[in-house]
């Protein structure tokens, strides 16, 4: 086990109350595993990522990295953890210093952590450029001379420069064209296999994570509402919100495409979230119980009525036939097996 988050919370004081950005999140990450945190913008997934890296301080809860509680470590003892836990950001351009040559950008973390001599660091820069599919001469160039996909490769090279164990990937492909997304996802998977990396992979849609994750945690308004193995989650989503996210993925079958209803309404404000189940204001299956009592996460799902939910397409596709139900299940299963 490389990472364990236990009842992690981050509350911000705001005019009108307390913003519960993250509100009691627990998960584990095994060595070499990819856990995806998925949810709409504002659900707390990026805040969770920053808590895990202790880039911000938690309001409550604990993060253990390789068995050590890093939430209570004094700042002067965080350096070894900072080397072993790195981040790849969503917007590579914003995260690269425009005035630094790419070679210096990749070398900088090695300098900060005192890894090797200057000559060894420069040699390592060349290795890293090759690893992420860039050429040696790219070390002399500046960030603005690269495409979005290339800049993300530079961000990945910089994260790997200090030989981390954990890489938090914060929406690493969201800003890229679809064709480039696949290349970056494949690169991340390849590097994971070579170096045994563990990934906490943040994404706002399930389409990307189905190619990347081993397990998926779906977040809604600061809480995990479903956590399951990827194949299980895609074949049998048990929370209405997970189903809605799945329904938003473009379907491979033209007969089903466009017939699924997207999730209606906006994410409520995390400032005074709805009582009871936080999803009840958008859930087609909400009952009085849902409005009154918050469901606990039990056996990987937080829903009072998960056992009674109708088949996926009946719920979100306006009543498709039996055949369509079976086909939909087959596609979900095939997608799981392919990945
Ligand atoms: Fe919907 Fe109720 Fe389940 Fe919440 S607990 S997801 S409102 S059915």
Residue 277 CA to ligand 1 centre (angstroms): 6
Q: Can you give the pLDDT at residue 330?
A: 46
Q: Can you give the pLDDT at residue 49?
A: 95
Q: Can you give the pLDDT at residue 339?
A: 35
Given a contact cutoff of 8 angstroms between Cβ atoms, the answer to whether 124 and 91 are in contact is: no
Q: Can you give the pLDDT at residue 11?
A: 95
Tell me which H or E stretch contains 215: strand 215-220
Strand, helix or coil for residue 25: strand
Q: Can you give the pLDDT at residue 64?
A: 97
Q: Can you give the pLDDT at residue 328?
A: 41
Q: Can you give the pLDDT at residue 26?
A: 97
Pocket mutation for ligand 1, best pick of 237, 283, 301 (most atoms within 8 Å of C-beta): 283
For residues 134 and 269, give the distance between their C-alpha atoms in angstroms, rounded to a whole number: 42
Which atom of ligand 1 sits closest to the CA of residue 290?
2
Which atom of ligand 1 sits closest to the CA of residue 306?
3
For residues 5 and 51, give the distance between their C-alpha atoms in angstroms, rounded to a whole number: 9
Q: Can you give the pLDDT at residue 221?
A: 95
**What tens digit of pLDDT does each residue of 239-263 get?**
999 988 887 776 665 555 554 456 7
Which atom of ligand 1 sits closest to the CA of residue 289?
2
Instruction: List beta partners, residue 23.
Output: 9
Ordered mean pLDDT values, 10 residues apiece, the chain (339 residues): 97 88 96 96 93 96 96 92 94 84 96 95 96 95 93 95 96 86 93 97 88 95 97 92 82 54 74 92 92 96 92 46 43 42
Residue 218 CA to ligand 1 centre (angstroms): 14
| Positive/negative CA dihedral, 141, 145, 150, 151 | positive
Least Cα distance to 11 among 204, 271, 220, 217 occurs for 271
Contacts of 165 (CB under 8 A, 6+ apart): 2, 31, 66, 84, 85, 196, 197, 198
Residue 317 CA to ligand 1 centre (angstroms): 18
For residues 311 and 304, give the distance between their C-alpha atoms in angstroms, rounded to a whole number: 16
- Centre a 10 Å sphere on the Cβ of residue 50 and count the other Cβ atoms it contains: 18
Residues with CB under 6 A from ligand 1: 239-240, 277, 279-280, 283, 285-286, 290, 295, 303-305
* Atom 6 of ligand 1, residue of closest alpha carbon: 303
* Atom 3 of ligand 1, residue of closest alpha carbon: 303
Pocket mutation for ligand 1, best pick of 304, 306, 309, 310 (most atoms within 8 Å of C-beta): 304
Gap between the terminal Cα atoms of the chain: 23
Question: Domain map of the chain by residue range?
Answer: 3-219, 241-251+268-338
3-219: what CATH class?
alpha beta
Q: Can you give the pLDDT at residue 133?
A: 94
Q: Can you give the pLDDT at residue 242?
A: 92
């Amino acid at each position: 086990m490389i990472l364990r988050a236990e009842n992690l919370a981050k509350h911000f004081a705001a005019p009108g109350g307390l913003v519960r950005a993250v509100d009691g999140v627990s998960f584990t990450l095994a060595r070499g595993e990819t856990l995806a945190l998925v949810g709409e913008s504002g659900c707390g997934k990026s805040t969770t990522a920053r808590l895990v890296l202790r880039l911000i301080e938690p309001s409550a809860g604990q993060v253990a990295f390789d068995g050590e509680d890093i939430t209570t470590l004094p700042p002067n003892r965080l350096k070894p953890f900072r080397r072993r836990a790195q981040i790849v950001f969503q917007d590579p351009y914003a995260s690269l210093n425009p005035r630094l040559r790419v070679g210096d950008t990749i070398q900088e973390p090695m300098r900060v952590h005192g890894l090797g001599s200057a000559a060894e660091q420069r040699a390592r820069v060349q290795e890293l450029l090759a690893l992420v599919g860039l050429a040696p001469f790219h070390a002399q160039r500046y960030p603005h001379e690269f495409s979005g996909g290339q800049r993300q490769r530079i961000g990945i090279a910089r994260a790997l420069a200090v030989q981390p164990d954990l890489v938090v990937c914060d929406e690493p492909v969201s800003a890229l064209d679809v064709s480039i997304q696949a290349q970056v996802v494949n690169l991340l998977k390849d590097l994971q296999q070579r170096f045994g990396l563990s990934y906490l992979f943040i994404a706002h849609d399930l389409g990307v994570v189905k190619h990347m994750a081993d397990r998926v945690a779906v977040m809604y308004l600061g809480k995990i509402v479903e956590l399951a193995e990827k194949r299980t989650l895609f074949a049998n989503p048990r929370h209405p919100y997970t189903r809605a996210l799945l329904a938003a993925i473009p379907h491979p079958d033209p007969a089903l495409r466009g017939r699924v209803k997207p999730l209606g309404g906006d994410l409520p404000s995390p400032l005074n979230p709805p009582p009871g189940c936080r999803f009840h204001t958008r859930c087609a299956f909400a009952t009085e119980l849902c409005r009154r009592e918050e469901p606990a996460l039990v056996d990987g799902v937080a829903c009072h009525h998960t056992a009674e939910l109708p088949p996926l397409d009946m719920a979100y596709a306006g009543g498709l036939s039996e055949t369509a139900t079976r086909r939909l299940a087959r596609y979900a299963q095939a997608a799981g097996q392919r990945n």
